[in-house]
Amino acid sequence: MELKDLLSQKKTSVMKRWYDLIMQTYPAETAMFLQAEKDPFANPVGSTIYRGMEGIYEGLLRETDPEGVSGFLDSIIRVRAVQDFTPSEAVSFVFLLKDVLREELKDDVDPEGLLVLGSRIDALALSAFDIYVRCREKLYELKANELRNWTSKLIERAAKAGGRGQ
């Protein structure tokens, strides 16, 4: 059986295991909520992560290059970039897919096929890291602008208060 067919056939079990592993990267209470709440409006984080996972997995099935799934990577990374994750923790979800696929496919795919798939996932991880860096840069830029605006307002207030005292 071809790798593409195997990936398609095992999609449900791979997605479940991958999602469970991603949830384990969160504190226990948060993970329980993210896994239990199925309403996308009550649980936008869990919903965003799962939709991103589906897009990434479909990209693997279609052998899409990392640029083709960057929007799905971006949606997950944006969530993780504003949370208390280190850079390696933020992008670790990509490597978790590699672990799940290695386990799911070990008896059905030759080692060379797993190597090729692993290389494609590594490329996704590199792309995810680039996206993470851009997200963090944007966050720092927003914080710097906020601080600059806050400081300007303080200076304006101080100048107005100084003018009233004369």
Domains and CATH numbers, the chain: 3-135 (1.10.490)
> In terms of pLDDT, which residue wins out, 158 or 133?
133
Q: pLDDT tens across 95-147, in order?
A: 999 999 999 998 898 888 889 999 999 999 999 999 999 998 998 898 898 88
| Residue 116 CA to its chain's centroid (Å) | 22
Is 105 within 8 Å of 47 (Cβ atoms)?
no
The pLDDT tens digits for 49-92 are 999 999 999 999 998 888 999 999 999 999 999 998 999 999 99
How would you write 23-58 as a 3-class SS string? HCCCCHHHHHHHHHCCCCCCCHHHHHHHHHHHHHHH
> For 148, how many CA atoms within 13 A lie in the half-sphere containing its CB?
6
Contact (Cβ atoms closer than 8 angstroms) between residue 69 and residue 128: no
